[in-house]
Amino acid sequence: MSGFRRLLGAVLAGGRAGGWASTSAPTLPRFCTQVGGEDSDKTLERRRSSRLLSETDEHFTEKVEAVYPTTVKQRRKGARVLQALFDVIEKDGRLYDLFFDDLGVHLQDIRVSPDGGAAYIRWSAKPGSEDRAEAALGRSAGFLRRRLARTLPYRRVPSLVFVSDYLTEEEARLEDVFDQIAMENEEARAREETSGEREGPSR
């Protein structure tokens, strides 16, 4: 549930449930990292844990959808944009070699804003290549969007915002704390149940 707690915290901090859907000034959940913006250099300075957020919570995607719901139209457009993005990268030999062979980038999920102006793409990379992948995706965002404009039948092709799926070191430590608390609570409940069974029903 720790991933979900962060999602709820992001909603409360942001004051709206639009989260990923904001386009004029995108507001991402705090565990996400936006690349290609003014803060990209600062972002690269933060070393990450090798743990993936989506792997620490098997129901991560469902919980994101519960907090940041999307319509059928958004999901269809997202699927089309993601497929077109794969096609663009595949046709460009240099990008294909860089992203998929060298960095091991995996584009995991996409969410399109209600007005179609922004597409948030969650990604991961092979161990040790996270920072290089983040920088490469940020540098390529504008180029990829221009290529998409040639293939997609939309008047307004969404801007691409690549969102890291990695936990920062601070978040990884919080995950460990939450896991430890949950384990201790479970052990305490088990002891209480065992103690109650031994004492038997009260008279």
Q: Which pLDDT value is given to residue 171?
A: 66
User: What is the predicted pLDDT for the residue at 110?
Assistant: 92
CATH of 2-176, one of 3.90.1150.10, 3.10.20.600, 3.40.1160.10, 3.30.300.20: 3.30.300.20
- Note the pLDDT of residue 14: 35
pLDDT at 108: 87
Q: DSSP labels for 106-159?
A: EEEEEEE-TTSSEEEEEEE--TT-HHHHHHHHHHHHHHHHHHHHHHS--SSPPE
Q: Give the whole-angstrom CA distance, residue 159 versus residue 145.
A: 6
pTM of whole model > 0.75?
no
| DSSP structure class, residue 134 | H
Q: Which pLDDT tens digits describe the chain residue by residue (203 residues)?
A: 444 444 434 433 333 333 333 333 333 333 333 333 444 444 444 445 567 777 777 777 777 787 778 899 999 999 999 999 999 999 999 999 999 999 999 998 899 988 889 999 999 998 889 889 999 999 999 999 999 999 999 988 999 999 888 766 666 677 677 778 878 888 888 888 887 766 665 55
Instruction: Calculate the CA 150 to chain-centre distance.
Output: 27
pLDDT of residue 69: 83
Rounded CA-CA distance 133/163 in Å is 11
Which residue in this structure is represented by tokens 């844990």?
49
